[in-house]
């Protein structure tokens, strides 16, 4: 009997209201796995049908609790989640009497872990990525689901360290810092480029081809390509760094090896 209970999840427990928070113990500080989910499901819930592959949408993040829309077909419930070190607290608006997790929370968490690669719960920590996005929506593009909903807008550029808490710094204070005044930087007209050449018909192995590129007005992309460099032209040598000279030498060496191989 005990072996049977071990295989089917949690042992028989008094029923609880699914709208009350239920605590799932995590083996790792902020990692939820399929194995942990299996331990948090009673036999009846694990065998229940329906609520397949629900749609999830983050609605709010307040006082460390994420409110998530949990939809399957035309039915909708709200799923609440609070992340703490070594434990995850969850609840559902369905109010069903269950031993541990209701089917709605189970399938929502299963989707997050199995399909959306959200087993790492750091995004849902207080001051984590999800809270930052909701507090600063104008900086992000809206996307469906939870996995990729916070894509920074192109004008914002790259956002670093968004998944980690900021320690003693308030994210509101950081975002409120004045932007540095743009400095007048002289943008060069040309730049060193590297192209990987390959044959669609596999006539030769890929090789690195150095060349000069003409920059656009902003200096952040190549407008057109200029002279192709063999790696031995002396007129460009003063413009190159030590690393670029080495890359040019390697590109020339690769090309020579390919030409020799084609002649054999």
How confident is the prediction along the chain (264 residues), in pLDDT tens digits per residue?
334 444 445 556 789 999 999 999 999 899 999 999 988 888 888 777 788 889 998 888 888 899 999 999 889 999 999 999 999 999 999 999 999 999 999 999 999 998 888 888 988 888 887 887 778 777 777 777 776 666 777 665 555 444 444 444 555 565 666 665 555 666 678 888 888 887 777 677 788 888 888 888 877 788 888 777 655 566 667 777 888 888 888 888 888 887 776 665
This model's pTM is above 0.85: no
Domain boundaries, the chain: 1-178, 190-263
Whole-number pLDDT of residue 154: 67
Task: Give the length of the chain.
Answer: 264
- CB within 8 A of 239, min separation 6: which ones? 192
- Reduced to 3 states, what is the DSSP secondary structure of residue 178? coil
What pLDDT sits at residue 242? 85
Residues forming a β-bridge with 66: 61, 81
Task: Produce one character per residue of 193-220: b if its CB has 16 or more CB atoms within 10 Å, e if not.
Answer: beeeeeeeeeeeeebbbbebbebeeeee
- Residue 8 is predicted with a pLDDT of 45
Give strand pairing partners of 104: none
Q: How far apart are CA 66 and CA 229, in angstroms?
A: 56
3-state helix, strand, coil in the chain (%, to 5): 30, 30, 45
Task: Give 98-115 pLDDT, tens digit per residue.
Answer: 999 999 999 999 999 988
Cα 247 to its chain centre, rounded Å, is: 32
What phi and psi values does residue 244 have, to the nearest 5 degrees? Answer: -65, -40
- Would you state the structure tokens that stand for residue 101, as one six-digit string? 């997790």
Cβ–Cβ < 8 Å for 23, 88: yes
- Output the CA–CA distances (angstroms, integers) from residue 144 to 8, 47, 56, in the order listed: 34, 29, 8
Backbone angles phi, psi at 217, to 5 degrees: -60, -40
Provide the mean pLDDT of the chain. 78
pLDDT of residue 93: 96
């Amino acid at each position: 009997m005990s072996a049977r209970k071990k295989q089917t999840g949690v042992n028989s427990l008094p029923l609880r209201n699914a709208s009350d928070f239920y605590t799932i113990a995590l083996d790792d500080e902020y990692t939820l796995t399929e194995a942990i989910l299996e331990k948090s499901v009673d036999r009846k819930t694990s065998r229940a049908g329906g609520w397949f592959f629900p749609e999830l949408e983050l609605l709010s993040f307040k006082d460390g609790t994420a409110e998530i829309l949990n939809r399957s077909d035309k039915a909708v419930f709200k799923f609440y989640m609070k992340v703490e070190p070594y434990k995850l607290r969850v609840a559902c608006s369905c109010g069903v009497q269950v031993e541990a997790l209701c089917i709605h929370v189970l399938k929502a968490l299963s989707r997050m872990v199995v399909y959306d690669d959200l087993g790492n719960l750091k995004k849902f920590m207080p001051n984590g990525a999800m809270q930052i996005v909701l507090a600063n929506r104008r900086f992000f593009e809206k996307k469906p689901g939870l996995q990729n909903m916070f894509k920074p807008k192109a004008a914002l550029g790259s956002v670093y360290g968004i998944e980690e808490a900021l320690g003693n710094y308030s994210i509101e204070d950081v975002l409120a810092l004045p932007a540095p005044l743009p400095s007048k930087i002289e943008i060069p007209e040309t730049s060193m480029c590297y192209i990987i050449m390959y044959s669609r018909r596999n006539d030769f192995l890929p090789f690195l081809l150095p060349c000069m590129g003409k920059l656009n007005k902003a200096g952040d992309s190549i407008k057109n390509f200029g002279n192709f460099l063999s790696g031995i032209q002396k007129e460009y040598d003063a413009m190159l760094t030590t690393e670029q000279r080495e890359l040019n030498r390697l590109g020339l060496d690769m090309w020579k090896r390919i030409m020799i191989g084609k002649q054999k």
